[in-house]
Amino acid sequence: MSLEVLDLVVEIDGRRVVDGVSFDVPDGARLGLIGESGSGKSVTALAVLGLLPDGAVARGSIRWNGAELIGMPDRELARLRGDDIGIVFQEPRTALNPIRTVGRQIAESVRIHTGAGRREARLRAIEEATRVHLPDPETIIDKYPHQLSGGQRQRVAIAMALACRPRLLIADEPTTALDVTIQAEILNLLLSLVDEHGMSLMFITHDLAVLAQVATYGVVLDSGRVIEAAPVQALLTAPASPITQGLLRDATATLWRPEGGA
Amino acid sequence: MPRWLRLLWSNGTGRFGLIVMATVALVALVSLLWTPFDPLDADVRNRWAAPSWPHLLGTDGTGRDILSLIMAGTRTTVFVSAGAGIVATVVGIALAALGALTARWMRETVAVLVDILIAFPVLIIAMMISSVWGGSLWVVIWAVGIGFGVNIARVTRPELRRVQQSDFVLAGRASGLTASQNLVRHLLPNVAQVFIVQLSWSMAVAVLAEAGLSYLGFGASVTEPSWGILLADLQRYIGIHPLSVLWPGLAITVTVLALNLLGDALREATDPTLQHRMAEIRTPEVVA
Amino acid sequence: MIRYALTRGVLLVAGLLVSSVLIFLTLRVFPGDVAQIIAGTQASPAAVEALRESLGLNRPLMAQYGDWIGGVLTGDLGTSQLSGVSVGAELAQKAQVTVPLGIMSLVIALLIAVPFGIGSALLRGRAGGTAISVTAQALAAVPVIWAGMMLIVVFAVWLGWLPAQGFPRQGWDQPWQAVRALLLPALTIGIVEGAMLLRFVRSATLQARGQDFVRTAAAKGLTRNRALILHGIPAVGLSIVTVLGLQIAGIIVGSVVIEQLFTLPGIGRMLVADVGTRDLIKVQSELLVLTGLVLIVGFIVDLVHHFVDPRQREAA
């Protein structure tokens, strides 16, 4: 189960946001996409899942297990979403439906792909909530998103993404919008779950320090192009391009903290 | 060509709006000097003529040329929409300023007052004015002006407040600008965007209001050529000459459509983020 | 929730009070000599004076206001000087025409706006979506009386299917005839209001489409359209409820003109006639009732909106 991206180009309203990006995520691999904001990394992730905004056009090739995703009808793509490939977004505040309980939203992931009944799905939701270490799962699933903290909401998002045990998880800056104190917790949760199920991971971030903890291979993006692609160690110790060097400088402060760092 | 004009022109609907409004204004001017026939001239032998030469749109029940009546009617349309626009502007800005730039007790009072006044539909205001002063085009102007002025105030006040408290305005005051200099340089341009959209919609409502109120007898007087009066006149014979009402109705519809589209185009042109601010979308009331 | 209801309730009462004062000032104070206006220019000074006495116009203003409001609260809306009929009784009778008309118009407007509004948003960029959008724009610009006239031309004059005017004298004792009489008027208001509402529904749906949580729903495995319908539309519905208040106000107001065109014996037509004859006493109470109606509808809509949105239910 691998993802192969070849010469991906994404244009939004005429502007080239992604300009010829290529990389692979082999089975079980941990790939990091890193770059400043606006470098096209999030758009790449959205393109994989066919979730680009209105007015966006994708060209090139994205293959999942050999099947070409670009141009695939939405109905078939929908079958892959959640089941084969899951995604966790950056902003927990807006990613959840404000007028549905979190339990129903997790259960929905299950019901879409298994056709389970209400009661069964609810039990599964409690299971998943437990797996992501949400406090008091049986009560919390009946709460609404605004009643949860940011960190809890992100756990819900992770539960929703992993409920059907996808083979690949895409994480788009999952901790950036969270409080510094819980970033590490959420990160560790993600990694342990990814390990436990032998998933592949595509992790998107702007912080090289975070990347170092998460990925083994890094792809550096700038203005929609791949600037450098190398094992993370190499990026850290011998960055070839000025962009990577800049990222390293920005991350240096956290890298050498005792708890952080590779 | 000023930037805003260029922006409007490049947008398809904006262009349509501009062309139509320019045409209306032009016809209004021209009609002061010339119309195919004297609008009030009753050619009794030619009553209810179908569209033909020389009466291109036909004639009405007393033989007056419909095309000339419609051309003359543009004057009323321009007068009413401009008048309502001006009143709405003054009322709106005054209320908004009172509600944003003054002492706290005054701000709170105005805020509550505006929320209450919003509920007064334009038609009700028009009825109130008519009961006392009788019907006239001024009823239309004042009713729409006040009704929409309040709405403009509701939308503009938070903008004014927001801008007033923003950093660069504070910087302006810190560097010694007087309150009025601050107002002109910083506040007005920012508020102008929100305001100008509401203004064009208010003009659209004014044209609709003239039609409805004139029909009810509270608007234009019978002797003035106006599209609303024409509609009312022709309607009485709708059983026998059904299609005569087509022309004034079309004229009103096209003009209102143009103003609406102009408002929409203005909003797109002045809102770079293209985020539709829900609070701004006023569904114009059915007035006519 | 209770606290919210109380706050809005206070605002409602304040609104009614302010409205009543405004109406009172405009109709009782500004005109100057109300009795003269009602009696007309031909009446003798003695007649005018007698009228003034019987209307209580020589009493201090506050007392007059108190009398009026006191009357309204106990159900006595005054008696028409010109016809001698109790205003309250007449309003109740005419409401039999206006209220069903309003309800029918609202239903038609919703039936047009919701499916077509959502549809045109889903079909954005395609021919169907543009066609709906353009038609709605055009219809929203149509003056309501002209729409009525054109519908009369088509359905009454040419096809003869529906009556162009009037309401059965036995009223709702002849239910089918009554409905037939109200159908064209309701269609007129419904189509024009529906077109305006449609633009709003479309805009709200497009906005919902861009919402993050709709994207998340699609990321879980729903198709993009289903994600929009299952997750975006309920949020759209909520914002429609907000606008509904304005729509209903528009319908109430629109019926005034429409009743005139279709000669329906409703509240609107009565109001127009009274304003025409300058029967200020009647107009005063009628306007208060109409404005009160608009305010109360707004109040109810606010409560419903607040109740349905779980975010606000908890906030108190």
Quote ipTM for the complex.
0.87
Residue B190: pLDDT over 80: no
Q: Which of A229-233, B62-66, B175-179 has the highest mean pLDDT?
A: A229-233
Which of C124, C219, C310 lies nearest to residue A51, judging by beta carbons? C219
Residue B280: pLDDT over 60: no
Nearest C-alpha of chain B: how many angstroms from C46? 22
Cβ within 8 Å of residue B99, ≥6 positions away: B106, B107, B110, B111, B114, B153, B157, B160, B161
Residue B272: pLDDT over 60: no
Sheet containing A3-12: which strands, arranged edge to edge?
A15-25, A3-12, A56-64, A67-68
Which of A82, A96, A161 lies nearest to residue C213, judging by beta carbons? A96
Cβ within 8 Å of residue B248, ≥6 positions away: B66, B69, B70, B73, B227, B228, B230, B231, B234, C146
**Higher-scoring residue by pLDDT: C73, B2:** C73
Residues 150-179 of A with CB under 8 A from C: 157, 160-161, 164
Alpha helices in chain B (DSSP H): 3-10, 12-33, 66-100, 104-117, 122-133, 137-164, 167-174, 179-182, 188-216, 227-235, 246-270
From the number of C-beta atoms within 10 Å of its C-beta (0-12, 13-18, 19+), residue C2 rates as: exposed
Which of C253, C271, C283 lies nearest to residue B287, judging by beta carbons? C253
Q: Is A254 helix (H, G, I), strand (E, B) or coil?
A: helix
**Predicted local distance difference test score (pLDDT) of residue B277:** 38
| Lowest-confidence segment of A15-24, C236-245, C268-277 by average pLDDT | C236-245
Residue C203: pLDDT over 90: no
**Predicted local distance difference test score (pLDDT) of residue A78:** 92
Query: Tokens standing for A23?
Result: 């990389």
**Predicted local distance difference test score (pLDDT) of residue B117:** 81
**Predicted local distance difference test score (pLDDT) of residue B46:** 74
- Interchain pair C294, B204: CB under 8 A: no
Q: How many other β-carbons are positioned within 10 Å of the β-carbon of residue A93? A: 15
Long-range contacts of A131-140 (CB under 8 A, 24+ apart): A131/A159, A131/A162, A131/A193, A132/A156, A132/A158, A132/A159, A132/A162, A132/A189, A132/A193, A133/A189, A134/A159, A140/A102, A140/A103
**Higher-scoring residue by pLDDT: A255, A229:** A229
**Predicted local distance difference test score (pLDDT) of residue B176:** 66
Cα A153 to Cα A96: distance, rounded to the nearest angstrom: 8
Q: Which residue of C has its CA nearest to B217?
A: C276
Q: Which of A73-82, A176-185, B212-221 has the highest mean pLDDT?
A: A73-82
**Higher-scoring residue by pLDDT: A36, C78:** A36
What is the DSSP secondary-structure string of chain C?
A: -HHHHHHHHHHHHHHHHHHHHHHHIIIIITTS-HHHHHH-TTS-HHHHHHHHHHTTTTS-HHHHHHHHHHHHHTT---B-TTT--BHHHHHHHHHHHHHHHHHHHHHHHHHHHHHHHHHHHHTTTSHHHHHHHHHHHHHHTS-HHHHHHHHIIIIIIIS--S-SS---TTGGGSHHHHHHHHHHHHHHHHHHHHHHHHHHHHHHHHHHHT-HHHHHHHHHT--HHHHIIIIIHHHHHHHHHHHHHHHHHHHHHHHHHHHHHTT--SHHHHHHHHHHTT-HHHHHHHHHHHHHHHHHHHHHHHHHHHHH-HHHHHH-
Q: Which of A170-184, B114-128, C32-46 has the highest mean pLDDT?
A: A170-184
Mean pLDDT for the stretch of residues A53-78 = 90
Cα C278 to chain centroid, rounded: 23
Cα B104 to Cα C254: distance, rounded to the nearest angstrom: 38
Q: Please, which pLDDT band fits residue B251 given cuts at 50, 70 and 90?
A: very high
**Predicted local distance difference test score (pLDDT) of residue C5:** 85
Which of C210, C234, C314 lies nearest to residue A147, judging by beta carbons? C314
Q: Is A161 helix (H, G, I), strand (E, B) or coil?
A: helix
H-run or E-run covering A138: helix A137-140
H-run or E-run covering B11: none
Q: Which of A218-227, C68-77, C85-94 has the highest mean pLDDT?
A: A218-227
- On the CB side of C2, CA atoms within 13 Å amount to 0
**Predicted local distance difference test score (pLDDT) of residue B279:** 36
What is the DSSP secondary-structure string of A214-238?
A: H-SEEEEEETTEEEEEEEHHHHHHS
> What are the residues facing A64 on neighbouring strands?
A3, A67
Residue B262: pLDDT over 50: yes
Residue C191: pLDDT over 60: yes
Place of tokens 């709906």: C132
Q: Please, which pLDDT band fits residue A21 given cuts at 50, 70 and 90?
A: very high
Nearest C-alpha of chain A: how many angstroms from C201? 18
Nearest C-alpha of chain C: how many angstroms from B127? 7
**Predicted local distance difference test score (pLDDT) of residue A202:** 94
Q: How many other β-carbons are positioned within 10 Å of the β-carbon of residue B252? A: 28
The distance between the two most distant Cα atoms of chain C, rounded to a whole number of Å, is 84
| Mean pLDDT for all residues in chain C | 83
**Predicted local distance difference test score (pLDDT) of residue B69:** 87
Residue B129: pLDDT over 70: yes
Q: Please, which pLDDT band fits residue C313 given cuts at 50, 70 and 90?
A: low
| Mean pLDDT for all residues in chain A | 88
Residues 125-154 of C with CB under 8 A from A: 125
**Predicted local distance difference test score (pLDDT) of residue C11:** 83
Mutation for testing the A interface, residue in C220, C226, C312 having most A CBs under 10 Å = C220
Place of tokens 């992604």: A18
Residue A260: pLDDT over 50: no
Mean pLDDT for the stretch of residues C212-216 = 91
| Lowest-confidence segment of A50-64, A156-170, B63-77, C296-310 by average pLDDT | C296-310
**Predicted local distance difference test score (pLDDT) of residue A238:** 84
Percent of chain A with pLDDT over 70: 96
Q: Kindly report, residue by residue over C247-300, the tens digit of the pLDDT.
A: 887 888 788 889 999 999 988 888 888 888 877 778 888 888 888 888 888 888
**Predicted local distance difference test score (pLDDT) of residue A252:** 57
- Interchain pair B127, C271: CB under 8 A: yes
Q: Which residue of C has its CA nearest to A82?
A: C220
Cα C311 to Cα C316: distance, rounded to the nearest angstrom: 10
**Predicted local distance difference test score (pLDDT) of residue B283:** 42
Mean pLDDT for the stretch of residues A152-172 = 93
Q: How many other β-carbons are positioned within 10 Å of the β-carbon of residue A121? A: 22
Which of A54, A82, A146 lies nearest to residue C221, judging by beta carbons? A82
Mean pLDDT for the stretch of residues C233-253 = 79
Chain C CB contacts of A94 below 8 Å: 211-213
Say if residues B62 and B37 touch (Cβ distance below 8 Å): no
- Interchain pair C146, B129: CB under 8 A: no
Percent of chain B with pLDDT over 70: 84
Cα C177 to Cα C173: distance, rounded to the nearest angstrom: 9
> What are the residues facing B59 on neighbouring strands?
B65
Q: Which residue of C has its CA nearest to A54?
A: C210
**Predicted local distance difference test score (pLDDT) of residue C252:** 81
For chain A, the C-alpha Rg in angstroms (whole number) is: 18
Cβ within 8 Å of residue A218, ≥6 positions away: A31, A32, A33, A34, A211, A228, A229, A230, A231, A232, A235
β-pairing verdict for A30-34 and A217-222:
parallel
Mean pLDDT for the stretch of residues B80-100 = 88
How many residues make up chain A in this entry?
A: 262
**Predicted local distance difference test score (pLDDT) of residue A258:** 43
**Higher-scoring residue by pLDDT: A230, C249:** A230
Mean pLDDT for the stretch of residues C169-192 = 87
Q: Kindly report, residue by residue over B145-186, the tens digit of the pLDDT.
A: 998 888 888 888 877 777 777 766 666 667 666 666 666 666
Residue A89: pLDDT over 90: yes
Q: Is B287 helix (H, G, I), strand (E, B) or coil?
A: coil
Percent of chain A with pLDDT over 90: 56
| Lowest-confidence segment of A249-253, C104-108, C254-258 by average pLDDT | A249-253
Chain C CB contacts of A82 below 8 Å: 219-221
Mean pLDDT for the stretch of residues A143-157 = 92
